Amino acid sequence: MSDKHMETGEGHIGYPGYIGVFTILVVGTIFTYFSSFWDLDSIFPGANTLLALAIAFTKMTFVMLFFMHVYWSPRLIWLSAVASFFWLAIMFAYTMQDYFTRGLGVFSV
């Protein structure tokens, strides 16, 4: 980091901001816990997994933007962050394709 960056105080949201992001992460964790008791398979198979992944993705975004200071970073860092999200979406798509095309298996009831 440059000295100018440290002198101007840019790149930090302060204690209230960090506490706010921490609160969002705690609420997301609690929401994930309570949503695990809901049976969302009536909507479509794997809806619980999709909801858990959506919550995890939201929490990951807050951590990356504020705790890793990507929010205040140059455009090249933003480009690499967006590219990593794109790559993660590709990996989730392949995983879900495999998950949805499998049979019930030997342990199904």
For residue 46, is it left (φ>0), alpha (ψ between -120 and 50) or beta? left
- Residue tagged 């993660």 (tokens): 88
21 occurs within a structural domain: yes
Task: Note the maximum CA span of the chain.
Answer: 64
80 occurs within a structural domain: no
pLDDT at 100: 81
DSSP 13-26: -HHHHHHHHHHHHH
28 occurs within a structural domain: yes
Which domain does 59 fall in, by range?
3-72
Number of domains in the chain: 1
Contacts of 1 (CB under 8 A, 6+ apart): 11
10 occurs within a structural domain: yes
84 occurs within a structural domain: no
> pLDDT tens across 89-104, in order?
899 899 988 888 887 7
pLDDT at 99: 81
> pLDDT tens across 3-32, in order?
555 444 565 788 999 999 999 999 999 999
63 occurs within a structural domain: yes
Contacts of 65 (CB under 8 A, 6+ apart): 71
Gap between the Cα atoms of 53 and 71, Å rounded: 22
13 occurs within a structural domain: yes
Gap between the Cα atoms of 100 and 59, Å rounded: 25
In the chain, the N- to C-terminal Cα span, in Å, equals: 57
107 occurs within a structural domain: no
